[in-house]
Structure 1
């Protein structure tokens, strides 16, 4: 799907060769239209007759109207044109138009586009028109190919915002693709192949480590999770070098449990199929690297993906087993279904070698986070106030929201055990926090944040599927870092 933006008045847009047209109409404009074209007249009449309510998401659908070339038209109230209201309006409008199977769509906003509003419109349209097709015998591919946004004035800022939105959408949809795939179509080996496919061009590198390499590194916790699986583990190391080699990288760590049975601590059968999404953190790292390749920002980024299945084989780890992590700390495994933190802790130790400016791990880690925050905000845990603030601001800008959770030291009391340095679970209380406190033990040598996306990475029920979160949040964070670095003036040379 290709996005373009053009300078057009509505009187010109309604004469364009389009299959369908979405017109976002603010409440104030709908009440007093400023233009005298056929569409503006129809909207004014609809408002006066009460057929178009002046509230966000209210839609007036039309077909084959005289003076309007597009066969299908949806006028939707965008209230005050905030990004959230534009997002809701686009979703409502596409719902009215999706049966049209339009290939070429126009989107016009009565008023001035903001960069954030344009981003919201593009991402909402992509979300609404997305369809998974990989494992369908008769796939229904997205028919929408071209979207033409129109604005009274087109600035360089809007052009940049649309290019950024398109790149982020590509990243989000790659993350959706891999998270949606069944586990037999998204093995650790296949994830590694996908990472290698992304690592093309002089700015990218990708290294894939197998079981023997991981054993030599002393990743005992990661190996312990993988030992019950027939599919061999893969430790994927991706690098994007967009800045000088002297600039420390941001390291992203994505949990890559390609299927999670729970191991010996077996999960209930109901909805276990959704455990194919347990590699959504890994999928989001792939999505970020896809977007980095499109935008090429001046920043260095490392992606680490520990990928394995968690299976209940005869060789699988058992409750009560003690393993030694790469950091040297020993871990008593009280519950084999708390495996994500075991693969992450070794990846967090491995991250030290990059001397990172910060490390952010992303994981569908705990059901407790779903209970705490539902599917609206991802859980944010951090040992660094500045990093936490920057991530929260990136979430607010992107609409990919997160919420900072507490990290008080007393929460770690439940992880104490007589038989190892630390247990892999505490009690039921504050489960998302105690999981974060476990990870914190392995992340003391750099600023660190943990995003628990268990509630936000996928939806269940009728809307079942991956969301691609938190690709947008992470990319907004990385782009802001690159922009801030570019603004720092070079140091003046010392006088002789």
Structure 2
């Protein structure tokens, strides 16, 4: 799908030839004398339309309007959250098979973030998974024009929105793939494709290398599977070599049966989503390759399956982690923290400015926060604040949870330095306390995305979260200069990646004056 940013008043939008024209009508709308303004003003006056986000009036072949279908859509206060809510409310019309070209026109003043929100909402509404379906209609929408009264000050937001679409859809694609189409090896191959983008390097470690590193906890989880584990190491080098990187660690359990502590059969198919932390790290790098911010980032993905064969680790077994600390595995279904603890130890060698791990770690976090906010745990207040602010800005919110030392009492073991579980009470917190034992004094945060990474039921599928939060956080960090905060250099550098193989449908950039079209989709 291509996105274009265009200077477009409401009067000019009426001449745009498209299948669907959506006019976003904000609070305080001041109509002009053009046909669309007149229609909107009359509808508002007669009570057939309201400016509340999502309220809409749909028209067909409206007089003096080139578009076949028109939606007058309330946009609330014109902020990003309201614009996203409004566009998702008419998502059915955006996703309809007959909608191949859509024009989104802002009929009044809007915030810069609203442009990015509009791009992301259109992509979210029109997304279609096709990889393992033999007969399915692919996304019909091929072009979206975002019309704004003035492109001044919104180009960067537009570029960010388009790059986020690429990153989120990369993450959604790999999160949605069945486990036999997203093995650790295939996930590593997906990471290697990212190395074709500027400034990105990829290195993949196999079982022998992981054994030499002494990652006993990671190896223990992988023992029961015939699929070989992979430790994926991505690097984005956008700043000076001496600038400390931010390390992102994504849990990559490509399928989780629970191991010997096997899960119930109901909804076990959803455990293909247990690698959504890994998918989000890949999605972030996909977006970084396009945005090219001045920052250094390392991505680590410990990827394996958790299976219950004769070689599988057993409850009561004691393993030695890369840090040298021993762990009594009381429950083999608490495997995510075992692969993460070794990756967190490995992260220290990069001497990072901060470490953030992302994991579908605990059902307890789903009970605590549902599917609205990701759980945030941090040993550093500044890092926690930065992540929270990024989440609010990106409409990908999180909520900080406690890390009191008393919560770690339940991890005590009679036979090892610690157990890997501490009972049901406060389960998401005790899991975070386990991870904290492997980061030392490094500024560290843990995002438990078990409730936000995917949806169940009729809407079952990966959400691509928290790619938006993480990218916004990294962009904010790239703007911080020693001694003071400054805005990033005007305009984002255009990414010019090598041509992707025909089998990949990744986003590509195509620079143009005051306009940017990006082809997005799954890889």
**Does TM, scored on the shorter chain, surpass 0.5?**
yes
Please state if 1:60 is matched with 2:57: yes
Cα shift at 1:201: 4.9
Q: Which residue of 2 aligns with 1:130?
A: 127
Structure with larger RCO (C-alpha < 8 A, sep 6+): 2
Which stretch of the first structure deviates more once superposed, 169-178 or 78-87? 78-87
- Per the alignment, residue 8 of structure 1 pairs with 8
Task: Find the partner of 1:92 among 89, 93, 99.
Answer: 89
* Residue range with higher mean Cα deviation, 233-242 or 36-45: 36-45
One of 69, 72, 86 as aligned partner of 2:69: 72
The match for 1:494 is none
Counterpart position of 1:37? 34
For the residues of structure 2 that align with 1:96 and 1:45, how far apart are their CA atoms? Answer: 23
In structure 2, runs of 5+ residues without a counterpart are 487-523
Structural mapping, 1:202-213, within 5 Å? 203-213=199-209
| CA distance in structure 2 between the aligned counterparts of 1:489 and 1:472, rounded to whole angstroms | 21
Mapped contact 1:380–1:403 kept (Cα < 8 A): yes
Q: Which residue of 2 aligns with 1:324?
A: 320
Structure 1 range deviating more: 126-135 or 4-13: 4-13
String of CA shifts for 1:353-401, please: whole Å, max 9, x gaps: 1011111000000000000000000000000010000000000110000
1:253 to 249, 253, 275: 249
Contact 1:457–1:470 (CA under 8 A) maintained in structure 2: yes
Answer yes or no: is the 8 Å Cα contact 2:31–2:41 preserved in 1. Answer: no
| Equivalent position to 2:360, from 360, 364, 367 | 364
Q: How does 1:122-271 map to 2 (within 5 A)?
A: 122-155=119-152, 157-201=153-197, 203-271=199-267
Q: Secondary structure of 1:381's partner?
A: strand
Deviates more, 1:369-378 or 1:54-63: 54-63
RMSD value, Cα: 1.4
Instruction: Tell me the CA shift for residue 95 of structure 1.
Output: 2.5
Q: CA deviation at 1:446?
A: 1.1
Gaps of 5+ in 1: 491-496
Worse-matched range after superposition: 43-52 or 224-233: 43-52
Question: Counterpart of 1:415?
Answer: 411
What secondary structure sits across from 2:465 in the alignment? coil
Quote how far apart the aligned CAs of 1:325 are: 0.2
Deviations 1:86-142 (A, max 9, x none): 111111233244325222211111112321111111111111111111001013211
Q: Does the Cα contact within 8 Å between 2:96 and 2:140 map onto a contact in 1?
A: no
Aligned with 1:353: secondary structure? helix
Q: What's the CA shift string for 1:246-288, capped at 9, x where partnerless? A: 0111000000000000000000000000000000000000001
Change (3 A) 1:161 1:177: same
Aligned to 1:354: 350
Larger CA deviation: 138-147 vs 440-449: 138-147
Partner of 1:79, secondary structure, is: coil
Higher helix share: 1
Aligned to 2:106: 109
Secondary structure of the residue aligned to 2:50 is coil
Contact 1:248 1:300 in 2 (8 A): yes
